[in-house]
Amino acid sequence: MASANNIERLRGERGWSRPELGRRMGTSGQQVERLEKAQRRLTTDWIDRAAAALGVSPSDIIAAEPAPMQPLPDQPVARSADAGETVEIVQLDLSLPMGPGATVDEYIEEEPIRFDLGYVRSFTRTPPHRLRIARGVGDSMYPTLNSNDLVWIDSTQTDLNQQDRVWAVSINGAAAIKRLRRLSGDRVMVVSDNPAIENYEVERAELLIGGRVIRFARDL
């Protein structure tokens, strides 16, 4: 369950609106409101981003009263039964309805999923707190991606600098897993691998890229 926090009080002390704090945190005012009202789980990543934006220590975000700096780890770490490290990976629900301007991280589900760190390190060196996982929705990317495939997203890769790669994006507020292709000017082709679904063009400004898909897993 999401916990109460001091984000709203600290924001108010600075005279900032939610959109202003959202801009400083790299998210939207809508997401700030959800965090303040404990409608979204306050992950370590959100705590660190809020603390950096507000100029306080991470402990000040969650403590009942401002406390001496007690930095939290970059990601929650535990020991599994076989003494191997495990990490929590933020889970997204891309089927949630959101309005225009929503970022991919606004689709965060309540509970993360825990994985063995050795498994995660077998395919990426990206810090675990910058990884996201989601389930495929629909059949627009079939046969590359099936509905309900587990998709791994690297949120450190948000620049559209690689052609025809698969990305987690918010297109005018609608989340999607799509192949993107840069065109001339500021146009981008949104590609569906399913030949039954037509590709279409959008302005680059209509896309908010949450990360590049780096792996997917399929149940047999």
Angle between helices 29-36 and 18-25 (to 10 degrees): 100
Eight-class DSSP state of 72 = P
Residue 203 has what pLDDT? 93
Q: What is the pLDDT of residue 202?
A: 93
Q: Which of 89-93, 121-125, 216-220 has the highest mean pLDDT?
A: 121-125
pLDDT score, position 7: 92
Q: Report pLDDT digits (tens) over 1-31.
A: 344 689 999 999 889 999 999 888 888 888 8
Q: What are the residues whose beta carbons fall under 8 Å from the beta carbon of 151, sequence distance 6 or more?
A: 133, 134, 135, 136, 145, 168, 177, 213, 215, 216
Provide the mean pLDDT of the chain: 80
Higher pLDDT, 190 or 109: 190
Q: Sorting pLDDT into bands at 50, 70 and 90, what band is 198?
A: very high
Nearest to 148 by CA among 166, 134, 132: 134
Task: State residue 183's pLDDT score.
Answer: 93
Task: Supply the pLDDT for residue 81.
Answer: 41
State the number of CA atoms in the 13 A half-sphere of 115 facing the CB: 19
Residue 174 CA to its chain's centroid (Å):
14
Find, among 113, 117, 137, the residue nearest to 127 by Cα: 117
Long-range contacts, 79-83 (Cβ 8 Å, 24+): 80/116
Q: How far is CA 169 from CA 5, 43, 188, 205, 215, in A?
A: 29, 21, 12, 12, 16
| pTM of this structure | 0.61
